[in-house]
Amino acid sequence: MSFWKRLIGRANTKLVAPRRSRTGGGVSSFSGGVGKVVGAGANHYYEALRRSPDRTPITVSYLGHVNEASRRDLSAIARALYDNGGTASYAVDQIALYSTPISIQAASDEKEWNDAAEAWWKDWSKRCDFYGRPDVDLAVIQKFSSQGADLDGDAGLILTGENGFPQIQFIEGYRISSPENATKNVRDGIQFDAKGRVTGYWVEEAKPNGESEHRFFPAATMFLFRDASITEPFRGMSPMRRGTNDLRDFRDILGFEKTAVKTNASMPGVIEGGGIDPVTGFDLGGSETKLPEKTETSTEEEHGTPGEQKVARADLTGGDILTLPAGRKYVAVQSNRPNAQFGEFLDSLTAQFAAGLGIPPSFFLDAKMTGPGWRAIIGKAQRRFDDRQAAMCRFLEWLWPRVIGWAIEQGELPEAKGWTQVRLQR
């Protein structure tokens, strides 16, 4: 048997059916996917494949994608964290702030045509929003695209002439999905040909009656803006998925600590030696306290007992002296919350979230460093912004010939040699 036949035979070998690992620390297949349980026990040659009850199992997928329900859930969680906390919104907006907008310049062989084309493009950029929002121009659409790539994983940018001239219809990533009656060549809202090439996208659109329907857009009319990933070759996946749990823990722990601090602050001390007398209470300065008069409709529960009302006086001053009956002792509550290491612990959770977005944690946390250290961190962060800018450049290079081509076809611009050539200013 030839080498090629042996290779093909091995590639076509049927994989073990998906199942969970019986021992801790194993590798289990992704539910609904094609995979197998990897590892041969405690003495596997590769340490990474050795099973151990001290490690949690890892679920793997060989398909390179997740189901649409998981994608939409991740998008919903990311948007909730963005809208309800400063950490996520600050990180996502910082990436958009440092990555957009990108300007485009004509680079044909005729300088006069270049000037005319850039002037036409500048005017078109102000009214390119399909929804007609006066505050949304091409720069804002670039910002939306960057934010969408971090929240939803990707964003659809449809070039349409529905309003009589080219406009961009921004589509949130979670709206790109497969219709209910989708054929086998449709996956994650993408339609493929027989050889696995992308032919178009399905977008969920709302109808006036509150229902929704899917509409197909050919690949030539829609640009899928995303960060390229080897694990998601056709769709984007929100990078927030890597640090979502860390950020949610951050919010929970901070909320619990705030509650504890407020509780301790509202309870300056405790009285040892029994309860307070319901009539006499205790004296804060020797003066008599006039209690609220009871009415026919008032109850003891509304105003509390006389002793409780004395304890809960709201007109305390800094010079009050507490006097307790014999046998009673006042003990001040000393709180050490939050402790000195609490901030560093929260920073470690924030660092995990920032690293998941590809931002150096020190850049995000504004750490105190020397000049050389800052230059190294800024250089790393700039690589992340460069990567996002490269994705935006691909979109603008896709957009220019389609929009300028329409202007030439309509006679608003003359044709020039090399009119498709551009320079991009980051």
pLDDT, tens digit (0-9, with 9 covering 90-100), for 213-223 = 999 999 999 99
Cβ–Cβ < 8 Å for 173, 152: yes
Q: What is the pLDDT of residues 50-65, one digit of tens each?
A: 777 777 777 776 655 5
Which of residues 150 and 308 earns the better pLDDT score?
A: 150
The CA distance from 14 to 29, in Å, is 14
Looking at residue 310, its pLDDT comes to 52
pLDDT at position 143 over 60: yes
The residue that leads in pLDDT, 295 or 402, is 402
The listed range with the strongest mean pLDDT (10-24, 92-106, 231-245, 255-269) is: 92-106
| pLDDT at residue 217, rounded to an integer | 96
- Assign 36 a pLDDT band (cuts: 50, 70, 90): very low
Over the stretch 353-371, which tens digit does the pLDDT of each residue have? 999 999 999 888 877 778 8
pLDDT surpassing 90 at residue 98: yes
How far are the Cα atoms of 43, 72, 287, 304 from residue 279, in angstroms, in the given order?
75, 61, 15, 11
Answer yes or no: is pLDDT of 7 > 50: no
Q: Taking all residues of the chain, what is their mean pLDDT, rounded to a whole number?
A: 82
Weakest-pLDDT range from 19-28, 56-65, 255-264 = 19-28
Of 422 and 285, the structure prediction assigns the larger pLDDT to: 422
Task: Please name every residue paired with 223 in a beta bridge, in sequence order, or none if there are none.
Answer: 157
| pLDDT higher than 80, residue 233 | yes
Residue 49 has pLDDT above 70, yes or no: yes
> 104-116: per-residue pLDDT in tens?
999 999 999 999 9
- 92: nearest Cα among 350, 354, 347, 351: 354
Mean pLDDT value across residues 332-341: 81
What are 62-89's pLDDT values in tens digits?
655 567 888 899 999 999 999 998 999 9
pLDDT in tens, 184-197: 899 999 999 999 99
Whole-number Å distance between alpha carbons of 358 and 352: 10
Instruction: Read off the pLDDT of each residue in 168-174 and give the average, rounded to a whole number.
Output: 96
Phi and psi angles of residue 69, each rounded to the nearest 5 degrees, phi first:
-65, -45
pLDDT value at residue 419: 96
The Cα–Cα gap between 405 and 325 comes to: 93
pLDDT bin (cut points 50, 70, 90) of residue 3 is: very low
pLDDT value at position 343?
87
Q: Which residues pair with 206 in a beta bridge?
A: 212
| Residue 25 confidence (pLDDT) | 52
In this structure, the dihedral spanned by the alpha carbons of residues 393, 237, 233 and 171, taken in order and rounded to 10 degrees, is -60
Return the higher-pLDDT residue of 382 and 44.
Answer: 382
Number of neighbouring beta carbons within 10 Å of residue 287: 8
Quote the pTM value. Answer: 0.76
Best-predicted range by mean pLDDT (150-159, 282-291, 301-310): 150-159
Q: Give the CA dihedral 286, 292, 294, 297, nearest 10 degrees.
A: -150
Q: What is the pLDDT of residue 1?
A: 54
CB contact at 8 A, 396 and 121: no
Average pLDDT over residues 22-38: 48
